[in-house]
Structure 1
Amino acid sequence: MCTSHEHEHDHEQVETAQAGAGRRSFLRATALLGAAATAGVTLPTAAEAAPTSASVKASWRPDTDSRRFTLAVMPDTQYLFDGPSIDKAPIEASLRYLLEHGKDENIVFLSHLGDLTQNGAKPEFAAIGEAFRLLDRRGVGYSVLAGNHDVNSSTDDQRGSSPYLDTFGLGRFKGARTFGGASADGYNTYHLFEAAGREWMVLALDWRLSAKGYAWAKSVLAQHPHTPVILTTHELVVEDDQLSDYGQQLWDRLIEDHDQIFLTLNGHYWPAGRATRKNAAGNDVHLHLTNYQNRYFGGAAMIRLYRFDLDRGVIDVETVSPWILGRAAKGLNELERQEIELSGDADRFTVDIDFGDRFSGFAPVPARASRPVSKLLVPGTVAYWRFDGQSDGTAVSGTVRDRSGRGNDLTLVTVGGGTLNWSSDHHPEQPGHGSLEFTGYKSPLKGAYLRTVDGAPLNSATFKRGYTIEAFYRLPADWDPDHNAWSGVVSRTGTGGAAGKTADDPDEPLATLSLSNDREPQWAVRPLNQEGIASNWGQETPLETWWHLAVVNDGKHTTLYVEGCPVVRNPTATAVGLTSVGLPWLLGGYEYAGKIDQILHGRLGDVRIVERALPVTSFMNH
C-alpha cells in the first residue's frame, strides 16, 4: 500500500461500512459462526496455535478433479505487523479458517498480495513468517510477494538480500508440492496446483520487475504453454477501469501478449476495484484490486474467496473476516459488526467466464472422435439412426438406413414443399458427427420429417420388459413458440382412441417425446397398463445449445433424463411398455388425431432405441 501522500484521494473515498449485510450475509455469517463454535475457528491462544501431532501429520489434499474449487486471496496485512504493535491473531484466524474449511470449500491455494509488513523489519517478518507456519505444517500451497513496504520501495527485484527474502525466499518453499520455481534473485516465484482435472499457475511477481524479471516471467510462461495463469503482484489496478503507470507497464510488457493470463490480482490501493481489458488475442483479462487495510483493525487479515465453478462458467467472489467471525461468540464491538462480512458490489460479485472458450487459444480441448456404429449397438438395440457422412446443406432424399440392422429404416415425408438437410453440426459427446436440419413451421404447416417404413418391426413393438429411447437435439435462435412449439423429437403414430384408450385426450398420439412452448422436453405415452396418458417433464432447455435426452423404462417405472440427469417430474405410478396399433414412428414429426400437426424446427442428432433399461453410463453421451 502507498504512503499517505501517494494516496490522498483514496482516503477521501473510504468505503461506507456495509452495516446492512442483507439476508445472504446474515445466513452465511450465522453458518460460519456455528462452524466456528464447533470447529475451533475462534481466536486461538498462543498455546493453541501450536498444531497437534495429528494435525501435523494430516496433509493438505484438495479434490483435484472437482470442477468447483476455491482460491483464497489475502491483501495488505502491513498494519498488523508494524514495529511494536505486532498482532498475529487476525492472520492466524484467517489461516486457520483455510485449514478448517479447506475440504468443504475445496480450497486449493492462497495468494498473498504483498505488503505483508509495514516496515520490512526483521521482527515483523519473524512474526508473520511464524504465522504462515500454520500452512507449512499442513503442506498448504500458497504464494507471497514483496510490496513496497516489505522492501526498499525505490528498488526492483535486483535489490539483493532483505528480511523479506530471508523469511519467504527459496529456502521456505523449496520442496513444497505446489512450488514451481523462483527467479535467480528470489523475488519472483511461480506455483502450480491441480484443480478441475488440469494444471493452473499462480505467477507471483515482485513490487517492481527489472528487465531480468520480465525475461524470467516470459520464460516461465513459455515453459508452461498450456497452463492458465493467475498473475499476482502488489500494484496494477488503481481504481475501477484504471491501471496505475506501473500497472500499464505490466500490461504492455507482459500481460497483453500472453493469452494464458486470464486473471490478475493486486493490492496496494484502496478501495477495491476491477478492470477488464482485451488482450492481443482478443480475449478478456480480468484485473482485480483488493485491499482492506483502510478498514477496521487494518483489514483484520480479511480474505477473498474466489470460487471457481467450471460447469456454471463463473467465478463467485466473496469477502469475509474469519477473525471477526471467530470473535462473535464473545460479542462484537460496533465496528466489528460492520466489518464481519463485506457485501458491496466491489466485494461480492460474479465473473462470467466460459473457461473452455477462454482457454481454447492456448489449451484447446480436443474434440471427441466419432465412434463407430458397432460401439453403439449395445445388446437390445432395435433401432439406431445417425446422420453423418454427408456434405452440409445436402437435401435428404430416399431412405435413411437403420444402422442397427433390424430393418427400421426411415423414409422422407415432405409437407408444403419443405426440405430436410444434412448438417455436420453435432453434440460434442455425440457418437456420429452429423445431424439433420429440420425447418418446420406451424401455420401454414410446412417442413419435412422422417417415418419408419411400413412393416418395420419397431411399428408393432410394445416393450413390455422396458426400453431406452435417446436423442440429441438443438434449437436455433429463431425458434418461436407460436410456430414451433409441441413438435416431436421422436413420436409414435396412432391415437389413444384407435387403441381403445379414451381417457384424457383420445386424439393424442400413443407416444411422443416433444418440446413444449417453453422448450421443456415431455415424454407423454399410454403404457400398456394404463388407460390415460403418463407424462414425464423436463426443464426449459436454452436455444442454440445441444441437448441429450433419454427416456428409460425398467418394466415398472419411467425416468426422463436431460444430459444424463434425472428430471424432477418423473411419475411414480407403475408404467409397463408402450401401446401400439402397428403404425410407424416419426422423427421430427408429431401427429394429432391421426394427422401431421407439427414439424420440428431445429437439428436432430443420433437417435437410438433399445428394448431394455440402460444405465446412465451406457447412454450415447458417455
Structure 2
Amino acid sequence: MKTPFSRAALLLSLTLVAAPAHAAETRDFSIAVLPDTQNYIDYTHQKVAGFPFDGRDMFLDQLRYVSSRLKSQGGDVAFVVGLGDVWQHQSLEMDPDHVARSFKRAPNPVMDHEFAPTPKVREIEMPTAREGYAMLDGKTPFAVVPGNHDHDAMWTDVNHPPKAVVKGPEDIGMLHAGGLTNFDAVFGADSAFFKGKPWYVDSHDGGADSAQIFKAGGYTFLHIGLRFDPTNDSLAWAAEVIRKHPGLPTIVTTHDYMDNDGRRLPNPIIDNNAVDPNDNTPQMVWDKFISQHDQIFLVLCGHEHGQALRTDDNRFGHKVVQVLSDYQDRHQTAIDAGVNNPYVGIGDGWLRMMTFHLGDATPTIAVRTYSTVYNKSSRDTAQYAAWYKAKEKPALSDVDFHGQDDFTITLSDFRQRFGKGS
C-alpha cells in the first residue's frame, strides 16, 4: 500500500517529534554532594589501627563513583561539592592567630582524649583526602568547604569549660575551631586542584572561602563555598563575588547551617560565635548574607547528623531552598563487621545526587540518596528505615523517613529570576 508521506517528509516528522525530547535531555544535569567524610578517613578506622576494615576504601569508592558519572566522562554530573569535615583530626592545640588574640584553652578530658592533636592527620588523613579528590582533578569544576574538623585546632574555650562530670554532650563545654593551614595545603587556592583553573573564579583567605563557575542545563551557575561559621570578612567577600557576577543563579555551600529539624541553630558544643563574635551563627549567615542577595536560590550544608529541607523567602520575596545532608553517624557496616560501639560512626557510603530538570515546564531538582557500599538508592534499600530511623527521625513513619532522602524540589520562581537559559 502506498504511504501518503514521502521519505523526506517522514524523516522530517520523526525529527520534529524527537527534538523536544532531545532538548529536554540536554537541560538535565546533576550535582554530586559528598557529606561529611571524616569517619571514613579517620586514621583509627583503618585495619592497621585494629579496625575490622579500611574506612578509607568507602571514601575512595565514593569518589570513584562520582568520577564515573562526570559529564566529561559521558555522565550527567556537572559539579561536585564536599560539605566539609573531610578528615577527622587536628594537628595543633590552638592555632597561632587565636593565641595571638589571647584566647585561652581549657582542659577537656573527653575531647582531649578523642581529638588530641596528632601528626597522623598529615601523615594519613590528608593524603587520603588528596587521593580521593584527585579523581576529579582536571575533569570537572568542584568545591570543598572546610568544616570544624578540617581546622588545625579544635579546643575548649576557657570561658565555656566542661562540667566536672560529663554525662552527655551538653556537659562537654564549648569548642572552637581555628586555623586552616592544613586545609589550605590540600584545598587552598594555590593547591594543584584549583590554581590556574578557569572555573575557580575567586577566593578569600587562601581558599578558606572560594567561588566557582560551572555551565549546565543552559545556564551559567555561580557557587560560593564558605568556611565553618564564616567570619564577617568572609561574608563581605562573598557579597563582593556576587556583585562581580550579577544575575547568575547562585548556590551557597557551608558546613554548619541547620539541624535535622531544619532550624538554623548552631551546634551546642561547637559554636564559634559563642567564643569569637567575629564568627557568624547560621541565622546570622541568613540574615546578613543569604537573604540579602536575590541570586542565591539554593543552600547546601552538612555537620548536623541527618537530613532536613526548608524553604524561605528572601527579602525580595523569592524562594531559597536549604538542604542538609550528613550521614557520618550511620554505622550499619560497622555493626555487620562486629563493632558493637554505638558511638562509632562510619557513613555507610551514602551520598546525595541532585538532578536538575531545567527543561521541565516548572524546573525541579530530584534529590536521591545513594550508597556506594550497598550500590543502592535509599528508596530501594528495604532495611533503610530499620537501620537509621530510630537515631535520626524516630517520630516519622517508615514511608516519611524514606521521603527525607528521596524527594523532589520545585523551583517555582527559577525562570522568573533567571530567564529561560540558552
TM-score tier by shorter-chain length is 0.5 to 0.7
2:63 corresponds to which of 86, 90, 95: 95
Measured in 1, the distance between the counterparts of 2:359 and 2:261 equals: 28
Question: What per-residue deviation string (whole Å, max 9, x for no partner) do you get for residues 63-96 of structure 1?
Answer: 9992100001011111112233243211221111
Query: How far apart are residue 251 of structure 1 and its match?
Result: 0.3
Retained in 2: the 8 A contact 1:188–1:213? yes
Query: How far apart are residue 258 of structure 1 and its match?
Result: 0.6
1:316 and 2:362 equivalent? no
**5+ unaligned residues in a row in structure 1: which ranges?**
1-62, 327-331, 369-622
1:164 and 2:124 equivalent? no
Counterpart mapping for 1:452-601 below 5 A: none
What percent of counterpart residues are identical?
28
Query: Which amino acid in 1 is paired with 2:305?
Result: W
Query: How far apart are residue 165 of structure 1 and its match?
Result: 1.3
2:202 corresponds to which of 177, 181, 185: 181
Counterpart mapping for 1:297-446 below 5 A: 297=333, 298-312=346-360, 313-325=363-375, 344-354=402-412, 357-358=413-414, 360-361=416-417, 363-364=418-419
Query: How far apart are residue 239 of structure 1 and its match?
Result: 2.5
Residues 134 and 318 of structure 1, relative CA distance in 2, 3 Å threshold: same
Residues 119 and 346 of structure 1, relative CA distance in 2, 3 Å threshold: same
Measured in 2, the distance between the counterparts of 1:158 and 1:270 equals: 19
Query: Which amino acid in 1 is paired with 2:84?
Result: G
Query: How far apart are residue 364 of structure 1 and its match?
Result: 4.4
- The size of the alignment, in residue pairs, is 293
Question: What per-residue deviation string (whole Å, max 9, x for no partner) do you get for residues 436-475 of structure 1?
Answer: xxxxxxxxxxxxxxxxxxxxxxxxxxxxxxxxxxxxxxxx
Name the SS of the counterpart of 2:205 in structure 1: coil
Measured in 2, the distance between the counterparts of 1:140 and 1:164 equals: 20
**5+ unaligned residues in a row in structure 2: which ranges?**
1-22, 47-54, 91-120, 158-174, 267-280, 334-345, 389-398
Measured in 2, the distance between the counterparts of 1:191 and 1:157 equals: 28
Name the SS of the counterpart of 2:403 in structure 1: coil
Query: How far apart are residue 274 of structure 1 and its match?
Result: 1.2
Query: How far apart are residue 132 of structure 1 and its match?
Result: 1.2
Retained in 2: the 8 A contact 1:65–1:197? no
Measured in 2, the distance between the counterparts of 1:81 and 1:232 equals: 21
Measured in 2, the distance between the counterparts of 1:64 and 1:143 equals: 27
The aligned counterpart of 1:133 is: 134
Name the SS of the counterpart of 1:79 in structure 2: helix
Structure in which a larger fraction of residues adopt helix: 2
The aligned counterpart of 1:540 is: none
Counterpart mapping for 1:33-182 below 5 A: 66-86=26-46, 87-103=55-71, 105-120=75-90, 121-123=121-123, 124-136=125-137, 138-151=138-151, 152-153=153-154, 160-172=179-191, 173-182=194-203
Q: TM-score, normalised by structure 1?
A: 0.44
Measured in 2, the distance between the counterparts of 1:287 and 1:346 equals: 13
Query: How far apart are residue 100 of structure 1 and its match?
Result: 2.1
Measured in 2, the distance between the counterparts of 1:364 and 1:258 equals: 17
Residues 76 and 98 of structure 1, relative CA distance in 2, 3 Å threshold: same
Residues 365 and 117 of structure 1, relative CA distance in 2, 3 Å threshold: same
The aligned counterpart of 2:257 is: 236
Question: What per-residue deviation string (whole Å, max 9, x for no partner) do you get for residues 171-193 of structure 1?
Answer: 22112343122113420001110
Retained in 1: the 8 A contact 2:189–2:206? no
Retained in 2: the 8 A contact 1:89–1:323? no
The aligned counterpart of 2:307 is: 272
Query: How far apart are residue 149 of structure 1 and its match?
Result: 1.1
Query: How far apart are residue 129 of structure 1 and its match?
Result: 1.1
Query: Which amino acid in 2 is paired with 1:236?
Result: Y
Measured in 2, the distance between the counterparts of 1:364 and 1:198 equals: 9
Structure number with bigger Rg? 1
The aligned counterpart of 2:298 is: 263
The aligned counterpart of 1:474 is: none
Which one is further off, 117-126 or 269-278?
117-126
Measured in 1, the distance between the counterparts of 2:235 and 2:329 equals: 31
The aligned counterpart of 2:104 is: none
Q: TM-score, normalised by structure 2?
A: 0.63
Query: Aligned Cα RMSD in Å?
Result: 3.2
Query: How far apart are residue 292 of structure 1 and its match?
Result: 0.5
Measured in 2, the distance between the counterparts of 1:161 and 1:288 equals: 25
Residues 225 and 359 of structure 1, relative CA distance in 2, 3 Å threshold: farther
Measured in 2, the distance between the counterparts of 1:308 and 1:67 equals: 8
Name the SS of the counterpart of 1:72 in structure 2: strand
Retained in 1: the 8 A contact 2:68–2:75? no
The aligned counterpart of 1:220 is: 241
Residues 153 and 359 of structure 1, relative CA distance in 2, 3 Å threshold: farther
The aligned counterpart of 1:202 is: 223
Retained in 2: the 8 A contact 1:228–1:359? no
